[in-house]
Structure 1
Amino acid sequence: MTTEATSPETRAAVGTETTEHAHHGYAPRKDQYLTRLRRVEGQVRGIARMVDEDVYCIDVLTQVAAATKALHAVSMGLLEDHLNHCVADAAQQAQYSGDPKLIQAKVAEASAAIARLLR
């Protein structure tokens, strides 16, 4: 799996440089996300077991679809949290500083994330 990380320059420009104490938009729902991701992890292990046991292909595909849908739900929640927290914060910072590049960078970052989800 490949990921496209935001450059350090972009994070610094919008005030989101990664630190030990960084507060991300998903922080209030972190436990919920971890629970969902552990459930998906279990689903994927189950799918591998099904393949190992030569389970009927349609049954395996049904489980793959379920795991994919669960990951999609996590990604949509994270995206919503990003928009509500990170993009909204950048908009406030842009308003206070008079620098529209702050919000433009966050919107571009969100757009790129959406594009990756749609591929």
Structure 2
Amino acid sequence: MELPAEELKGAVNRLRRAQGQISGVIGMIEQGRSCEEVVTQLAAASRALDRAGFAIIATGLEHCLTGESEGAAPQMERDEMRAKLEKLFLSLA
């Protein structure tokens, strides 16, 4: 199943944020910053990756559940369903 890119903009933004955080972590290590600072930034990057992954999974499930070829639900309902699915996945993490 292919997911429309426009529906994954939030996930892409989170991935870009994580990419920047990982670059920052590398720089911090090269600068000899404290372990606490490095681990804090690494944890933030990890959370951003997790949230992006869950958003992608939730979007895929939403497409499966709504039967995208059977006349899609209105955008507001789809957004609410996606948010609920994402919240459920996050509660498992």
TM-score by shorter chain over 0.5 = yes
Q: 1:75 aligns with which of 53, 66, 78?
A: 53
User: What CA distance in whole angstroms lies between the structure 1 residues aligned with 2:58 and 2:8?
Assistant: 13
Q: Which residue in the other structure is 1:50 paired with?
A: 28
Q: Which residue in the other structure is 1:7 paired with?
A: none
Q: 1:61 aligns with which of 39, 46, 55?
A: 39
Q: Are 2:12 and 1:34 aligned? A: yes
Query: Over the residues paired in the alignment, what is the CA RMSD in angstroms?
Result: 2.4
- TM-score between both structures, scaled by the size of structure 2: 0.63
Contact (CA 8 Å) 2:14, 2:51: kept in 1 or not? no
- Give 1:36's aligned amino acid: R
**Aligned structure 1 segments of 4 or more residues deviating by more than 6 angstroms:** none
- Give 1:63's aligned amino acid: Q
Is the helix fraction higher in 1 or 2?
2
Any stretches of 5+ residues in structure 1 without a counterpart? 1-15, 17-22, 93-113
Between Structure 1 and Structure 2, whose CA radius of gyration is higher? 1
- TM-score between both structures, scaled by the size of structure 1: 0.50
1:33 is displaced (CA, Å) by 2.1
Tell me the SS of whatever aligns to 1:55: coil
- Give 2:12's aligned amino acid: L
Percent identical pairs in the alignment equals 30
1:88 is displaced (CA, Å) by 4.6
- Give 2:18's aligned amino acid: V
